[in-house]
Amino acid sequence: MFLFADGAVAETEKKIIEAFEVFDHECNKTVDVREIGSIVRSLGCFPTEAELHELLAKVEEEEPTGYINLEKFLPVMTKVLLDRSYQPIPEDVLLHAFEALDENKCGYITKEELVKYLTEEGNMTFVISVFK
């Protein structure tokens, strides 16, 4: 466990609050649960769907209301940022991923193709296993 200067923690918290408030329409310290992914990513994090679900479980209310409170979100997200969790996978790896799917070497893949890989019957078991 690293020791952080108070300044770094405070600064991190302020960053998180700012990002949260961008999505807080009514300025009442809550956001729609569906926006949490956007907020986390806008802070530079790169969670997988599984990681996002884990995070949501920590910040949701006991009985989910569809809204997330800043109060609960802040400490969880602060830890994420200070621990440098969910780092982005480098761009060259992304390029390899495209190349893996672009069998005909067109230089692009279509949305339909992508959807097919993610949802095709035979593949679903595997996709889900990656998510778990």
Which residues contribute to the site for other proteins (CB under 8 A)? 7, 10-11, 14-15, 18-19, 21-23, 26-28, 37-42, 46, 48-49, 88-89, 93-94, 96-98, 100-101, 109, 114, 117-118, 122-123, 125-127, 130
Whether the CB-CB separation of 20 and 70 falls below 8 Å is answered with yes
Residue 112 Cβ vs other proteins, minimum distance, rounded to whole Å: 12
**DSSP 3-state of 87:** coil
Q: Would you say the C-alpha torsion 120, 124, 126, 127 has a positive or negative sign? A: positive
Q: How far is the CB of 42 from other proteins (least distance, A)?
A: 4
CA 28 vs. chain centroid, Å, equals: 23
In angstroms, what is the minimal distance from the CB of 52 to other proteins?
9
Q: How far is the CB of 17 from other proteins (least distance, A)?
A: 9
Q: How far is CA 93 from CA 36, 38, 85, 99, in A?
A: 26, 22, 18, 10
**Choice between 79 and 96, CB closer to other proteins:** 96
The residue among 53 and 97 lying less far from other proteins, judged by its C-beta, is 97
Q: What are phi and psi of 67, to 5 degrees?
A: -125, 150
